[in-house]
Amino acid sequence: MKRLLLWSALVILLLGAAGAFILSRVDTDLVTSLVSDAVESATGAPLEFAEAPRLSFVPLGVRFGALSWKREDAAHSLAVSASGGRARLALAPLLSGDIVIEEVELNAPALDMVQHAAPTADTPAAAPAVAERDTASVSSDAAAAAPPDDLPLELGRVQVKDARIRFTDAAGNRAEIGPLQLTLTNVRRHADMTLETGFDYALHQGGKDITGSFALKGIFHYYAPNLTIKGLQAQLAPRSGPIPAGLGAIALQADSAVNLADGKLKLSGLALSCATSRLELAGEASLRELTFAGTLSLITAPRATAALWGLTLPAQGEDRLELSTGLEYSPEGLALRQLKISQDKTHLEGTLSLNPQQPALRGELRVNELRVDQYLPQPSGKADSKAPVETNAASDKTNAAPAAAKADQKAAAPAQPKVWPLLDMALAVGSLRYGEMGVKDLSLSLQGDKGNYQLRDFRCALLSGGRLQAHGSTRLPDSRHALNLTAQGVDLGGLTQMLGKGRPVEGTADATADVTARGMTAEAVQASLNGKGTLQAGNIRIQALSAVLRDVPGLGEAVPERIDRVQVPFVIKNGEVTSRPFAATSAKLNAKGQAAASLPRKHLHATADVNTLGMTVPVIVQGPFSNLSYSVDPRFLARMAAGLPDALLEGGESAGKSAGEAAKGAGNALGNTVRGAGGLVKGLLGR
């Protein structure tokens, strides 16, 4: 027992001697100098300690109190502070006299960034600043060409607790991040470094708050010049701000590798997802030349996504849209190869390219079926945004001066020339519908440059019956347009029914029109429309016209309902359409007349003399396009009511005198019948 106690005492003495030896090897000034130098080499400014660090035996290392770091120039000021922390030292290197920092812990660090007013060009420091930036740019390019293999600081672990980052711009807007937790493990070259961080954020701008939280973790491997990122996961959870809360957390996953020497990035996979959508991207990019070549895919729920932003899409079909494409981007343009979009029964395929430097859009798109109204928002029922809003007088006075100043600036600013893109597009649609209207087998091509475009080979078939062909041109710089249209075999009854007007007219029609116009709105185009054309229709039945003719005394049900042929040549001048004369022919009915229609006023006035069953009846058609009225000329009806009954009565009486009592009775009966018809006409005229 006595021997055991002696050995135990000896071991304790040896450990104490070893501890004293180790502590004697630790130079606190050297440790703080190492940390300060490492920070200065990485940031350009040293780290300052408010008090001398204290040695600790368990764990072996240095504990320090408050520290600070600051850098300021004419445009920005940057300050870092912390309430304290510790640096743990590696034991093995210490025995040989080397000090290696194994772990660093910072408590409640704070980073404050303030943006000052930008220096003016005539500030003395402005020119040297440019030179400094040029020098820095050259040196950074050289460094990028040959990145060092050594890290500015190698540690086993870095832990930051309850950090805060605050930023204030020159306008006084504030942003704050924190409390932030950050852990870096195995910060060494040629090793897998693990990063994990999370924080809350708050942005106060213009009286509005944008708040939420963010978390990130991943593995980073640096082996010069390559930096590999594996299993990167990030999550953004907004609580207030412009992002709708219904989107939920926005998650990102990525695996990539970047060559820091040439800026080449290989993106093995990137996925961005939220409650209603998921986007995936993969490919290769150049960070220097800003190019990318790879694939992109998107799956989203259009109706659910639109609802989150306050829009209502029609509830038709499955709420799922899928997009996939080969993606190529460079400063010269964007190209979508093998583009495929599917939504319910609509499938689109094709290629598309866009040049942002010299705006150009080229491609070919094919769509099997498309319902336009399925993608248009429905009325939300909210108050009209143009309705007057109550404001107080003080705010009106306060905002009046800035508004006037902005108006003056806008008036004084020179008009920017418009840039018109080059277009070379071809489109084919199997079926295109908007409400009850629709066409099928649609194809067209649009080509041109500098605002001068040609519409070529436009063809389609109306779902109601008939075909359309057209070609035309538009000159957008001076708003001039031209169109040549041909229609064949158009089912008039089916067309009016498709337009929601019932079937007031039936038959088939062919038409040609060659027109020009100016303007960029429908009203301007209608008011400036000029041209000419013809309309030819066959086997026509106009219900309202037949009804009016049948009410004429002496015609009745004998009036034919069908017109074999109608020919209407027309001329358009400044939106006013005239046809003089138009003609209708058939075995038992012929007509000739003239018409005038105003496209701006949407009004028609037409007159025609209709010859049928030995009688010529003047007919008037007039009224707005939406409510045309058919009637017989009142003067004709007045003449019939005044003269026809007496003439027939006289004829009946003379026939009775010459042919006896029987014939006289027949004449009287005929006279009574005509009087009844005259009474009917008077009743129609309200006399």
DSSP bridge partners of 604: 597, 623
pLDDT over 70 at 49, yes or no: yes
In whole angstroms, give the CA distance from residue 181 to residue 201: 13
More confident residue, 408 or 483: 483
Is 401 contained in some domain?
Answer: no
Q: Are residues 580 and 602 in the same domain?
A: yes
Rg of the chain in Å (alpha carbons): 43
The H or E element containing residue 193 is strand 192-205
Ranked by mean pLDDT, the top range of 364-378, 398-412, 485-499 is 485-499
The H or E element containing residue 26 is none
The token pair that represents 293 in the structure block: 């070549």
pLDDT over 80 at 155, yes or no: no
pLDDT over 80 at 614, yes or no: yes
Q: What is the pLDDT of residue 570?
A: 97
More confident residue, 494 or 54: 494
Q: Are residues 543 and 597 in the same domain?
A: yes
> In this structure, are residues 608 and 590 in contact, taking their beta carbons and an 8 Å threshold?
no
Q: Are residues 36 and 167 in the same domain?
A: yes
In whole angstroms, give the CA distance from residue 89 to residue 97: 12
- Lowest mean pLDDT segment, chosen from 123-132, 176-185, 392-401, 672-681: 672-681
Last residue of a domain, one of 591, 610, 632: 632
Q: What is the pLDDT of residue 33?
A: 66
Q: Are residues 153 and 227 in the same domain?
A: yes
pLDDT over 70 at 389, yes or no: no
Reported as a single tens digit per residue, the pLDDT across 431-476 is 998 888 899 999 999 999 989 999 999 999 999 999 999 999 999 9
> In this structure, are residues 258 and 265 in contact, taking their beta carbons and an 8 Å threshold?
yes
Is 1 contained in some domain?
Answer: no
pLDDT over 80 at 136, yes or no: no
Is 441 contained in some domain?
Answer: no
Q: What is the pLDDT of residue 379?
A: 55
Is 550 contained in some domain?
Answer: yes
In whole angstroms, give the CA distance from residue 172 to residue 175: 10
Percent of the chain with pLDDT over 90: 33
The residue among 275, 437, 324, 424 whose CA lies nearest residue 372 is: 437
> In this structure, are residues 155 and 103 in contact, taking their beta carbons and an 8 Å threshold?
yes
Those residues whose C-beta lies under 8 Å from the C-beta of residue 292, and which sit 6 or more positions away, are 283, 284, 285, 286, 327, 328, 329, 330
Q: What is the pLDDT of residue 34?
A: 64
| H-state helical runs in 213-370 | 302-308
Is 227 contained in some domain?
Answer: yes
| Mean pLDDT within 176-183 | 88
| Residue 246 binned pLDDT confidence (cut-offs 50, 70, 90) | confident
> In this structure, are residues 358 and 332 in contact, taking their beta carbons and an 8 Å threshold?
no
Q: Are residues 663 and 588 in the same domain?
A: no
In whole angstroms, give the CA distance from residue 81 to residue 304: 46
- Lowest mean pLDDT segment, chosen from 52-56, 105-109, 263-267, 307-311: 52-56
**DSSP one-letter code for 649:** H
Q: What is the pLDDT of residue 687?
A: 33
pLDDT over 60 at 659, yes or no: no
The residue among 107, 33, 124 whose CA lies nearest residue 66 is: 107
Q: What is the pLDDT of residue 668?
A: 36
More confident residue, 259 or 41: 259
What backbone phi and psi angles, to 5 degrees, belong to 125? -80, -5
Print the domain residue range for 668: 640-685
Last residue of a domain, one of 215, 239, 263: 239
The token pair that represents 665 in the structure block: 């009775």
| Residue 663 binned pLDDT confidence (cut-offs 50, 70, 90) | very low
Q: What is the pLDDT of residue 417?
A: 55
In whole angstroms, give the CA distance from residue 115 to residue 102: 36
Q: Are residues 80 and 211 in the same domain?
A: yes
More confident residue, 13 or 553: 553
Q: What is the pLDDT of residue 9?
A: 43
- Lowest mean pLDDT segment, chosen from 155-169, 177-191, 415-429: 415-429
Cα–Cα–Cα angle for 665, 671, 677, rounded to 5 degrees:
140
Cis ω on the peptide bond leading into residue 179 (within 30° of 0)? yes
Is 658 contained in some domain?
Answer: yes
CB atoms within 10 A of CB 619: 21
The token pair that represents 183 in the structure block: 């852990």
The residue among 671, 609, 608, 685 whose CA lies nearest residue 641 is: 685
Distances (CA, A) of 23 to 96, 102, 179: 13, 16, 35
Question: Reduced to 3 states, what is the DSSP secondary structure of residue 242?
Answer: coil
In whole angstroms, give the CA distance from residue 243 to residue 223: 39
DSSP bridge partners of 269: 255
pLDDT over 60 at 685, yes or no: no
Three-class SS of 116-140: CCCCCCCCCCHHHHHHHHHHHHHHH
Distances (CA, A) of 237 to 165, 199, 212, 246: 18, 11, 5, 11
More confident residue, 96 or 188: 188
Is 304 contained in some domain?
Answer: no
Q: What is the pLDDT of residue 29?
A: 61
Reported as a single tens digit per residue, the pLDDT across 65-96 is 888 888 887 788 888 888 888 877 766 565 55
Torsional sign, CA 546, 548, 553, 556 = positive
Q: Are residues 581 and 645 in the same domain?
A: no
Instruction: Write the DSSP string, 388-452.
Output: -----HHHHHHHHHHHHHHHHHHHHSPPPPP-PPEEEEEEEEEEEEETTEEEEEEEEEEEEETTE
> In this structure, are residues 60 and 89 in contact, taking their beta carbons and an 8 Å threshold?
yes
Q: Are residues 502 and 609 in the same domain?
A: yes
The H or E element containing residue 524 is helix 522-527
Q: Are residues 63 and 206 in the same domain?
A: yes
| Mean pLDDT within 656-675 | 35
Distances (CA, A) of 125 to 74, 75, 140: 9, 11, 22
Q: Are residues 50 and 194 in the same domain?
A: yes
| Mean pLDDT within 367-395 | 57
pLDDT over 50 at 647, yes or no: no
The token pair that represents 206 in the structure block: 């213009």
Last residue of a domain, one of 239, 260, 284: 239
| Mean pLDDT within 554-579 | 91
Q: Are residues 573 and 658 in the same domain?
A: no
Reported as a single tens digit per residue, the pLDDT across 514-562 is 999 999 999 999 999 999 999 999 999 988 888 888 888 878 887 888 8
Ranked by mean pLDDT, the top range of 66-80, 87-101, 127-141, 231-245 is 231-245
In whole angstroms, give the CA distance from residue 631 to residue 545: 8
- Lowest mean pLDDT segment, chosen from 24-28, 338-342, 518-522: 24-28
More confident residue, 126 or 561: 561
Q: What is the pLDDT of residue 656?
A: 39
| Residue 31 binned pLDDT confidence (cut-offs 50, 70, 90) | low
pLDDT over 80 at 19, yes or no: no
> In this structure, are residues 49 and 17 in contact, taking their beta carbons and an 8 Å threshold?
no
The residue among 457, 328, 286, 330 whose CA lies nearest residue 339 is: 328
Q: Are residues 654 and 561 in the same domain?
A: no
Q: What is the pLDDT of residue 538?
A: 93
Is 233 contained in some domain?
Answer: yes
Q: State the total domains in the chain.
A: 3
Contacts by residues 582-587 (CB-CB < 8 Å, ≥ 24 positions apart): 582/608, 584/540, 584/608, 584/610, 586/560, 586/562, 587/560
CA atoms within 13 A on the CB side of 185: 9
Residue located via tokens 């950050």: 182
Average confidence score pLDDT of the chain = 78
- Lowest mean pLDDT segment, chosen from 283-287, 293-297, 609-613, 673-677: 673-677
| H-state helical runs in 26-111 | 28-43, 91-95
Q: What is the pLDDT of residue 76?
A: 80
Those residues whose C-beta lies under 8 Å from the C-beta of residue 630, and which sit 6 or more positions away, are 542, 544, 545, 547, 548, 619, 620, 621
Distances (CA, A) of 651 to 52, 184, 660: 138, 119, 14
| Mean pLDDT within 604-633 | 91
In whole angstroms, give the CA distance from residue 520 to residue 394: 40
In whole angstroms, give the CA distance from residue 59 to residue 27: 16
